[in-house]
């Protein structure tokens, strides 16, 4: 049912359309036209105005023909840098960029698969449940866009977010909560040659604090990282200020709290031991989630995958996605793997067969949702 060449063409056209975070206008207009042609009612929310971007989240609804449970699919329109002027091409069994930019398969693959599945349904005039899509903005900037999306507009009981690396058929049902720690160490300036003993080095406080922390892979569920440490100053002055930024993530909220406490305590005790002080700000970036394998979205994703012959695996991820926001807002959401590889690098690529399988999966999900179901088998 899937027209592979049309799918690959749509995919490469999306990749070739500039769509950096907060600058998704061109792609949003293209996708709006596409959705309108498919019969969707499309609206754009005010996420752009609220977040300083030029585009809001697109929300589309295609009324069902023949009943069934409404479905919601979600992808993000933006991509990481370098993501302007992408020149996608087919090389052997893969679609790749020219090596100077990312490909943008993250998340063009999800969008193209949804559009192709819907086009195939429209061509054949098949019955389908109500289908909703939300294409978010600025996902790559810590999930900015989805935070402004009003879940009250959604009719579907759950959401399928197409936005994960890994072979098509994998279903992400668990993701960590993430906290960010910002710290400013305050010491005392002194001449580094004449009277260093009169100074309190903010850099040494930060260094001592870091050396007391357990970082990177903390335990199977928990990670932590120092992302930046900065102090500007000439070498002949004992530095009185040093800024540090760190993060911690865990699938277990209690373990996250423990890890954050250990990190902030290491900072406070290091500062106190050297006669300085530290100001610490802890921010919760997004909540985590854990869904059961028999939860509605996981079950539906698995049965649709099996029906089109995809090997099904449930997995947890170490990263955040719009599903974190939707789940925390009360909409059960799983993330479907899209088959792309090496995302966020200029070596990003996707196998042609994986992209086609993703469209097959979306098509199966929609047909399974229709009353009578299984119309593609
Ligand atoms: Zn993504």
With a CB cutoff of 8 Å and minimum separation 6, the contacts of 173 are: 290, 291, 292, 293, 295, 298, 314, 315, 316, 334
* Spacing, Cα 106 to ligand 1 middle (Å): 5
The pLDDT of residue 59: 98
Residue 304: in which H helix or E strand, if any?
helix 296-307
CATH fold group of domain 4-175+288-369 = Aminopeptidase (3.40.630)
Residue 223: in which H helix or E strand, if any?
strand 222-230
* Spacing, Cα 165 to ligand 1 middle (Å): 8
* Spacing, Cα 146 to ligand 1 middle (Å): 13
pLDDT 10s digit of each residue in the chain, 377 long? 999 999 999 999 999 999 999 999 999 999 999 999 999 999 999 999 999 999 999 999 999 998 899 999 999 999 999 999 999 999 999 999 999 999 999 999 999 999 999 999 999 999 999 999 999 999 999 899 999 999 999 999 999 999 999 999 999 999 999 999 999 999 999 999 999 999 999 999 999 999 999 999 999 999 999 999 999 989 999 999 999 999 999 999 999 999 999 999 999 999 999 999 999 999 999 999 999 999 999 999 999 999 999 999 999 998 899 999 999 999 999 999 999 999 999 999 999 999 999 999 999 999 988 875 544 43
* Spacing, Cα 37 to ligand 1 middle (Å): 26
Q: Is 245 a catalytic residue?
A: no
CATH fold group of domain 177-286 = Alpha-Beta Plaits (3.30.70)
Choosing from 20, 24, 78, 107, the catalytic residue is 78
> Which residues of the chain are in CATH 3.40.630.10 domains?
4-175+288-369
Q: In what order do the strands lie in the sheet with 349-351?
A: 89-91, 94-96, 349-351, 340-341
* Spacing, Cα 203 to ligand 1 middle (Å): 36
Q: Is 198 a catalytic residue?
A: no
User: Residue 289's beta-bridge partner residues?
Assistant: 175
* Spacing, Cα 190 to ligand 1 middle (Å): 48
Helix 4-15 / helix 352-369 crossing angle, nearest 10 deg: 110
Q: 41-44 and 58-62 as β-strands: parallel, antiparallel, unpaired?
A: antiparallel
d(CA 59, CA 67): 21
* Spacing, Cα 325 to ligand 1 middle (Å): 14
* Spacing, Cα 64 to ligand 1 middle (Å): 28
User: Residue 184's beta-bridge partner residues?
Assistant: 243, 279
* Spacing, Cα 366 to ligand 1 middle (Å): 22
User: Residue 216's beta-bridge partner residues?
Assistant: 224
* Spacing, Cα 319 to ligand 1 middle (Å): 10
The pLDDT of residue 368: 87
As given in the structure block, the two tokens for residue 179 are 């906290």
Choosing from 139, 240, 322, 360, the catalytic residue is 139
* Spacing, Cα 204 to ligand 1 middle (Å): 38
> Which residues of the chain are in CATH 3.30.70.360 domains?
177-286
Residue 352: in which H helix or E strand, if any?
helix 352-369
The pLDDT of residue 371: 74
Instruction: Please spell the DSSP secondary structure of 174-213, one letter per residue.
Output: EE-EEEEEEEEEE-B-EETTT-GGG-B-HHHHHHHHHHTS
Nearest residue to 328 via CA among 289, 369, 302 = 289
* Spacing, Cα 107 to ligand 1 middle (Å): 5
* Spacing, Cα 155 to ligand 1 middle (Å): 24
Could you identify the residue written with the tokens 């098949």?
126
């Amino acid at each position: 049912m899937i027209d592979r060449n049309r799918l690959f063409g749509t995919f490469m056209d999306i990749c070739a359309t500039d769509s950096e975070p907060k600058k998704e206008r061109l792609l949003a207009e293209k996708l709006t036209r596409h959705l309108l042609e498919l019969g969707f009612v499309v609206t754009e929310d005010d996420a752009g105005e609220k977040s300083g971007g030029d585009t809001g989240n697109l929300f589309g609804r295609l009324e069902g023909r023949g009943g069934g449970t409404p479905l919601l699919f979600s992808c993000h329109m933006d991509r990481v840098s370098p993501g302007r002027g992408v020149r996608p091409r087919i090389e052997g069994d893969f679609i790749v960029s020219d090596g100077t930019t990312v490909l943008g398969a993250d998340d063009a693959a999800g969008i193209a698969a949804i559009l192709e599945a819907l086009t195939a349904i429209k061509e054949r005039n098949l019955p389908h449940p109500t289908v909703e899509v939300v294409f978010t903005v600025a996902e790559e900037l810590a999930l900015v866009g989805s935070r402004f999306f009003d879940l009250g507009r959604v009719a579907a009981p759950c959401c399928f977010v197409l936005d994960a690396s890994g072979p098509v058929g994998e279903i992400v049902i668990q993701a960590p909560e993430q906290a960010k720690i910002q710290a400013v160490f305050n010491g005392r300036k002194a001449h580094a040659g004449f009277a260093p003993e009169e100074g309190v080095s903010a850099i040494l406080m930060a260094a001592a604090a870091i050396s007391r922390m357990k970082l990177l892979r903390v335990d199977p569920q928990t990670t932590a990282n120092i992302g930046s440490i900065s102090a500007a100053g000439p070498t002949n002055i004992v530095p009185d200020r040093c800024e540090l930024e760190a993060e911690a993530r865990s699938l277990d909220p209690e373990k996250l709290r423990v890890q954050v406490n250990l990190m902030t305590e290491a900072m406070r005790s290091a500062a106190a031991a050297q006669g300085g002080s530290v100001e610490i700000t802890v921010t919760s970036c997004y909540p985590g989630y854990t869904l059961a394998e028999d939860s509605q979205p996981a079950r539906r994703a698995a049965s649709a995958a099996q029906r089109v012959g995809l090997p099904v695996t449930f997995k947890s991820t170490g990263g955040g996605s719009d599903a974190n926001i939707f789940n925390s807002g009360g909409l059960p959401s799983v993330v479907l793997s899209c088959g792309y590889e090496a995302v966020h690098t200029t070596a990003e690529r996707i196998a042609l067969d994986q992209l086609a399988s993703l469209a097959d999966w979306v098509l199966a999900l929609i047909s399974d949702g229709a009353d009578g179901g299984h119309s593609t088998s």
